[in-house]
Each structure stands twice: as C-alpha cells, then as structure tokens.
Amino acid sequence: MSSAGGRPPKFPLGLDRVTPAKRAATSAPTTLRPQRPLQEAAAEAQRRSAPTGVGLDSAGVRARMVARLRADGLRCEPVLQALARVPRHLFVDSALVVQAYEDTSLPIGLGQTISKPSVVGRMIELMYASPAVQARGHLGRVLEIGTGCGYQAALLSELATRVVSIERLKPLHDKARDLLAPLRRDNLRLVYGDGRLGHPPSAPYDCIIAAAGGDDLPQAWLDQLAVGGRLVAPMQGGRGGQVLMVVDRHESDWVRQVHEAVHFVPLKSGVA
C-alpha cells in the first residue's frame, strides 16, 4: 500500500485505518524480510538522519542513560536492557538530538511529545510486574495506544512477541513508519486509526499501554484485554491531575490500582 504522496513505505508495516464500520474486519500478519542485527540497522539510520560528530550512536551513551535511570529507581532488567539497545536519538528531531539521552520529554510536532525515558521505562516496568508476564518472561501480545514518533513501539518490540501500535494523527503515523523502517521489526504492526477503539482484529492482548490520558478508560480497551492481562494508562485522578492507572483483568472482573502522578497529552477520539 502506498504512503502519503504516492511513495511506497520503506518496509511493509501495516497501514490500516480503523473506523467503527471496520472494527470487525480481520487482519492477516505481514511477512517481512529477516530482521537485521539492531546495531547494523541503527548505524544505517544514524548515517541517514542524525547529525554527525555527536557520538550518539555509541552504546556508551545509552548505557549512561540507563545507569541514571537505575540509580533513580528503575529496576526491571528486561526494560533496562531494551532502553540500552534502542537508539532514542533516531526518534528525536535533529534540532533536539543532543538532548536525546536526557530524562526529558521533547516535542515531535502536532502538539505531541516523546515521553521521558524514565516514564516510558516505568510504564513498561509496571506491565512486567504482572504475574502473568512474570510467568511468561515476556510481554506477549501488546497493544500500544499512541504511536507518536515510534520510540516506545521500538522498545515494546524488544520485549513482546507481537506489538500493534495505533496512531490517530496521520503525519505522526507516517513519521513513525519512516523512523522505524531501518530497524525492520517483524513483530511490529503500525495502524492508523482511532485509539479509543483499540484494534479488535488482533485482540485479545496480554498487555495494553496508552500514551494519552482521559477522564475514563475506554470500554474497548478493557474488552480487548485478555484474561490475566494488564493495562497501564494515564487517567484523570481525583484532584484534577493525571495518575498512572493499572488494570488487571480476571475471569469475572477488572481490578484497578492507582500509581504515581504523570502528565500526558489528552486522549482524543477520531482521526486527523
């Protein structure tokens, strides 16, 4: 399928538009070329898109970021290892690339941001703390709400058997597709659609993670969570600010836990 402007995508990530009329449609997995070693793919992407001479392609730069996150309390080893492998600077605009490994959120356009590494790490750590994930040793099938620039999707693809990532803003969906292309993640599918609807064709999901927060958790997310699955998402708290909400699905109900305060962009309906 052609991308915006008629040019083909660099590799066949899924390009689906999800609307209420299509929620019952089926989605066959796409067969991709074998995945290259991450260092090779990252080096190629670095040559194409990032400024030279800043040393951001060095594993040592990421290792120092991980050491700071560990010192600040992030303890989940699989998450720390993924943060050490995925080159965050490839997902940051060139004017801000020198800040790529600072623990700060950065603008990615259209009023959206790439979240702090500490926040991304914490949310994935909360998913890893699920008893089902602990028993499996990996995240299983994951739905990400809000692809953004694709950085968190790249991390999730290191830790899950399958990732479906949905983005409602077409320019960001296209941007993430282009930024992720050099990494050739064959377990990652990008979807253009309304994140509040989730993605029924690939449900149920073992984990669901959201990068935008609203007053409620959409029922579609709860319905698409597998029994034994865990959802982590920002949500409006009782005092007006956002908190991280963790929801575990059991056979007959959903159990909620409230965690620390966070700040995410608002969760919106529709596509643009």
Residue 79: inside a domain? yes
Give residue 237's pLDDT: 84
pLDDT value at position 41?
55
- For the residues of 86-107, what is the DSSP string, one character each? S-GGGGS-GGGGGGTTSS--EE
User: How many other CB atoms are there within 10 angstroms of residue 224's CB atom?
Assistant: 21
- Output the domain CATH number for residue 59: 3.40.50.150
Do residues 66 and 83 touch, judged by C-beta distance below 8 A? yes
Q: Classify residue 16: in a domain, yes or no.
A: no
Beta-carbon contacts of residue 76 (< 8 Å; ≥ 6 apart): 121, 124, 125, 128, 129
The whole domain housing 67 covers 37-262
How does pLDDT run across 142-185, given as a tens digit for each residue? 999 999 999 999 999 999 999 999 999 999 999 999 999 999 99
Measuring CA to CA, how many Å separate 66 from each of 10, 59, 101?
Answer: 30, 11, 9
- Banded model confidence at residue 58, pLDDT cuts 50, 70, 90: confident
| 218 within a domain of the structure (yes/no) | yes
CA geometry: angle at 263 spanning 134 and 242, to 5°? 80
- Predicted TM-score (pTM) of the model is 0.81
Q: Domain for residue 254, yes or no?
A: yes
97 belongs to a structural domain: yes
For 8, 204, 232, the CA distances from 175, given in Å and listed in that order, are 13, 27, 25
- Cα angle for residues 117, 68, 88 (degrees, 5° grid): 35
Give the residue numbers marked as catalytic: 115
Least confident of 37-51, 88-102, 200-214, 256-270: 37-51
pLDDT tens digits for 103-121?
Answer: 999 999 999 999 999 999 9
Residue 168 lies in a domain: yes
* Of 158, 157, 177, nearest in space to 167 by CA: 177
Average pLDDT for 28-48? 47
Helix axes 170-180, 151-159, angle to 10 degrees: 50
Residue 101 lies in a domain: yes
- Measured CA to CA, the distance from residue 31 to residue 88 in angstroms comes to 26
Query: Residue 166: inside a domain, yes or no?
Result: yes
188-193/225-236 β-pairing? unpaired
Please tell me the total count of domains within the chain.
Answer: 1
Span 112-132, average pLDDT? 97
pLDDT over threshold 90, residue 25? no
